[in-house]
Structure 1
Amino acid sequence: MAQAYNQPDITSVQNNRVKEWAGLLDRKGRQKAGAFLIEGIHLVDEAVRAGAPVRTLVYEADKGLPGTLADHAEAAGIETVSVTRPIMERCTDTETPQGIFAVVDKPAEPAETLLADTGSDLVVVVDGVQDPGNLGTIIRSADAVGASAVVLGRGTVDLYNPKAIRSTMGSLFHLPIVEADLQELLPAAREAGRQIVVTSLQADSSCYALDMTRPTWLVVGNEGRGVSDAAGELATHRVIIPMQGQAESLNVAMATTVLLFEASRQRLAGSSV
């Protein structure tokens, strides 16, 4: 049951905190603040329940804050602030705001920590994907199969773009997502015994013939150009996704999903076939 608040804590769109929040809609603002915005009850609830570093939870006073979310925020020691509708519209990206958003600190986990895990890890490395919807789908698929992490190489769309965040449907809070220089990280991963896998229409080997029960890093590339030459040269395996129909190729998010679920199938079955 929602709680009603008739007197908002902040009423002016010129308030300094409001200006700071609105600035997070811009990439430069996010980089400066080291934080980003998430919008809507589902995303905010996912973040709070996942223990994400939520700084502030902001809600529209006339709509109130759902009781369960208010309880979770209080238990986590998260600041809650009520505002007016004009402030909500100023600080959100959607045409019809749901009446709630949160300010979340960007994670600071270094990519090198991924190399410390000696287990049978499964990592998705994103090399220059530009569409926020594709990036979100890749992250959701990685979450669905229980992947260890997602690595974002330089030139990839900003994860904290509001459209990218929405397209993850909360999965960005369920596994580590780190930014890295692939020219430094991929050689280190190879040295640490990870197999580096890229897809290629010119490859002779099927993805279904590759043993992905081993520690595997799947490198997926730009929608138009594919994996960059620099990243491709660091691959230990090149594979193709066999297709019986007449389509020439798959969307990068769909191709990544196929590879992830094949890796998951192998690991659940305990073999590569």
Structure 2
Amino acid sequence: MNENFDPLLSSVQNDKVKHWASLLDKKNRDRSGQFLIEGVHLVLEALRGQASVLTIVYDTDRGIPEELKLERETNDSEATLGLEWVQASRAVMAKCTGTDTPPPVFAILTKLSPDSSALYRKNCLVVVLDNVRDPGNAGTIIRSADSVGADAVILGKGCVDLYNPKTVRSTMGSLFHLPIIEADLKELLPQARAKGVTLVGTSLQAKHTCYSYDWKQSTWLLMGNESEGLSPIVRDLVNESVIIPMVGQAESLNVAMAATVLLYESLRQREFNK
């Protein structure tokens, strides 16, 4: 394919451009069922992760990034069927990404359709977020869950929107690697307990450290709000509580760091302590 034949959009008043820019707001993402990703790495991860990519828009002055040129020539997966390539002016790139320094490329995707069958897999490991509102924390936890091979991540009501551009960037593409399910925890957690899943939270009063708890069993790890922890309703459903031991003088770890410590202990027990 020759990029010279790709349509060029130069005006920020173009209807397509207005629609793409509107995806920076959650209400428009919800209404359209679409979201926007920025940068070469995320676009590559979306294509390779079989996400439903609708349109790829690149800066006409810089041309298609080399990595994407190769992907365009070689990728014949379902992700690229009917895929539209568009070149755009720097003003359009800036309007649609909301950043001071526009990326060389962005893409429009259909929202993900996660497979929930992994939630109750034998010896499953699932991360559950309860009112985690910071996009950087949520994205980092999703990335950590991906890195240890967790089966899924669940975002309870009150969490930051998965498709918030800052959340998407923070995942570094991990949102395309494992199911991320948005759900009502009041309904889902009792179902998990009924199916034999252990719900694990963190507590300063816990009898177990995270190193003495058996992470090899079917476990959902519950992580709460940055300042308030787990909500009372969710806390009442916890089966087991663990504490991360601290020997220095730091008062606490932030929620993303704490989740990562716990996830890597689960990985150590599951894969390196057999």
Q: Report if TM-score (shorter chain) is over 0.5.
A: yes
The number of residues matched between the two structures is: 267
Listed one character per residue, the Cα deviations across residues 177-214 of structure 1 (whole Å, up to 9, x for unaligned) are: 11000011111111111110000112222111111100
Change (3 A) 1:208 1:69: same
Q: What's 1:204 paired with?
A: 207
For residue 141 of structure 1, report the CA deviation from its aligned partner.
0.6
Distance between the aligned counterparts of 2:170 and 2:66, measured in 1? Answer: 26
For residue 158 of structure 1, report the CA deviation from its aligned partner.
1.1
> What's the TM-score, normalizing by structure 1?
0.92
Distance between the aligned counterparts of 1:51 and 1:242, measured in 2? Answer: 40
Give RMSD over aligned pairs: 1.8
> What's the TM-score, normalizing by structure 2?
0.92
Distance between the aligned counterparts of 1:101 and 1:80, measured in 2? Answer: 10
For residue 8 of structure 1, report the CA deviation from its aligned partner.
4.9
Q: What's 1:97 paired with?
A: 102
SS in 1 for 2:57: strand
Q: In the alignment, is the contact (CA less than 8 A) between 1:123 and 1:147 conserved in 2?
A: yes
Runs of 4+ in 1 over 3 A off after TM superposition: 3-8
Q: How does 1:49-198 map to 2 (within 5 A)?
A: 49-73=48-72, 75=76, 76-77=80-81, 78-109=83-114, 111=116, 113-115=117-119, 117-198=120-201
Q: In the alignment, is the contact (CA less than 8 A) between 2:157 and 2:183 conserved in 1?
A: yes
For residue 9 of structure 1, report the CA deviation from its aligned partner.
2.3
Q: In the alignment, is the contact (CA less than 8 A) between 1:4 and 1:62 conserved in 2?
A: no
Identity %: 55
Q: What's 1:23 paired with?
A: 22
Distance between the aligned counterparts of 2:118 and 2:3, measured in 1? Answer: 45
For residue 137 of structure 1, report the CA deviation from its aligned partner.
1.0
Change (3 A) 1:232 1:15: same
Q: In the alignment, is the contact (CA less than 8 A) between 2:58 and 2:106 conserved in 1?
A: yes
SS in 2 for 1:65: coil
Aligned residue identity for 1:109: P
For residue 270 of structure 1, report the CA deviation from its aligned partner.
4.6
Whether 1:13 and 2:1 are equivalent positions in the alignment is no
Distance between the aligned counterparts of 2:172 and 2:9, measured in 1? Answer: 29
For residue 118 of structure 1, report the CA deviation from its aligned partner.
2.9
SS in 2 for 1:20: helix
Unmatched 5+ stretches in structure 1: none
Listed one character per residue, the Cα deviations across residues 26-68 of structure 1 (whole Å, up to 9, x for unaligned) are: 0111101111100011111111111111111111112111244
For residue 248 of structure 1, report the CA deviation from its aligned partner.
2.1
Q: In the alignment, is the contact (CA less than 8 A) between 1:93 and 1:162 conserved in 2?
A: no
Aligned residue identity for 1:119: K
Change (3 A) 1:109 1:168: closer
For residue 25 of structure 1, report the CA deviation from its aligned partner.
0.4
Distance between the aligned counterparts of 2:238 and 2:170, measured in 1? Answer: 29
Distance between the aligned counterparts of 1:233 and 1:110, measured in 2? Answer: 27
